[in-house]
């Protein structure tokens, strides 16, 4: 039988741990709330507001979904459908238009929008500042480019913007979900995204058709 003092010191330890855990989540939530109150997360990175390469001149903006024009919201959804519908349909997720729209138009959604100098919309990323597994993270929900501008370095540049925004705002990591049947998951691996510890362990493609990748904020690693 453990001695009485041992028992009480153990429960004290447990209480202390729980308190620390609650405090950690409270601080994480504060960071997420501060980031979500930003007017324009891209404003502090003037060098990353323009991309020029091989005759392609692109300008970027970050906006909350609620500040986007209806026509832009329609284009965002249409591009996602054109790029992804088939991939969703050929795995157990299926393509559920209503559910996808709800996710993309959720009021917590932020958008990084890419436009040419001729005012053509050519790509976007949907991201959110959020709590994931108890940590403050930037969750990248989508990165979608029009076919005509793919494979010209724009996706890489946009991921750099996403990471700058995440780490400037003290998010612990950038997290994203990729479909295993999407050959473009290779792009994120090329960008040094690694299997996240929260990625479900399952070799059965039919049961779990996705994996979770992430990149850690090196600046904050030593604080844990």
Ligand X SMILES: CC(C)(COP(=O)(O)OP(=O)(O)OC[C@H]1O[C@@H](n2cnc3c(N)ncnc32)[C@H](O)[C@@H]1OP(=O)(O)O)[C@@H](O)C(=O)NCCC(=O)NCCS
Name the site residues for ligand X (rule: CB under 6 A): 83, 143-145, 150-156, 178, 182-184, 186-187, 190
Q: Report in angstroms how near the CB of residue 215 gets to ligand X at its nearest.
A: 14
Q: Of 153, 160, 206, 162, whose CA–CA distance to 181 is shortest?
A: 206
Cα(37)–Cα(74) distance, integer angstroms: 25
Sequence-separated (6 or more) residues with CB below 8 Å from residue 148: 122
Give the residue with the Cβ less far from ligand X, 134 or 153.
153
Nearer to ligand X, 155 or 209 (CB): 155
Q: Residue 182 Cβ, how far from ligand X at the closest point, in Å?
A: 5
Euclidean distance between CA atoms 166 and 219, whole angstroms = 12
In the DSSP assignment, the letter for residue 157 is: H
Identify which of residues 20 and 117 has a Cβ nearer to ligand X in the complex: 117
Cα 223 to Cα 171: distance, rounded to the nearest angstrom: 13
Residue (83 or 214) nearer to ligand X, CB: 83
CB of 117 to ligand X, least distance (A): 18
Smallest separation (angstroms) from ligand X to the CB of 12: 46
Tokens found for residue 2: 């453990």
Least distance to ligand X from the beta carbon of 83, Å?
4
* CA separation for the pair 50, 70 (Å, rounded): 24
| Residue whose CB is nearest to ligand X in the complex, by number | 155
Residue 143 or 174 having the CB closest to ligand X? 143
Please say which residue, 21 or 86, places its beta carbon nearer to ligand X.
Answer: 86
> How do strand 121-132 and strand 110-116 relate by DSSP bridges?
antiparallel
Tokens 């030593």 map to which residue?
222
Query: In the bound complex, what is the minimum distance in angstroms from residue 91's beta carbon to ligand X?
Result: 12
216: part of which helix (H) or strand (E)? strand 210-216
């Amino acid at each position: 039988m453990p001695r009485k003092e041992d028992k009480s010191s153990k429960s004290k330890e447990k209480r202390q741990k729980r308190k620390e855990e609650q405090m950690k989540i409270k601080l994480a939530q504060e960071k997420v709330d501060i980031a979500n109150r930003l007017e324009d997360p891209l404003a502090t990175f003037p060098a990353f507001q323009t991309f020029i390469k091989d005759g392609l001149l692109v300008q970027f903006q970050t906006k909350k979904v609620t500040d986007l024009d209806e026509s832009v919201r329609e284009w965002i959804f249409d591009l996602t459908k054109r790029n992804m519908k088939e991939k969703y349909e050929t795995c157990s997720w299926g393509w559920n238009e209503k559910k996808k729209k709800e996710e993309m138009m959720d009021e917590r959604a932020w958008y990084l929008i890419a436009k040419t100098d001729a005012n053509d919309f050519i790509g976007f990323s949907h991201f959110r500042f959020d709590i994931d597994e108890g940590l403050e993270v930037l969750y990248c929900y989508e990165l979608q480019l029009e076919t005509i501008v793919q494979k010209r370095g724009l996706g890489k540049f946009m991921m750099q913007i996403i990471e700058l925004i995440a780490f400037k705002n003290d998010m612990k990591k950038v997290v994203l979900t990729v479909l295993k049947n999407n050959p473009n998951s290779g792009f994120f691996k090329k960008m040094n995204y690694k299997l996240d510890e929260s990625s479900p362990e399952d070799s059965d493609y039919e049961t779990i058709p996705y994996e979770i990748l992430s990149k850690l904020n090196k600046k904050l690693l030593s604080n844990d």
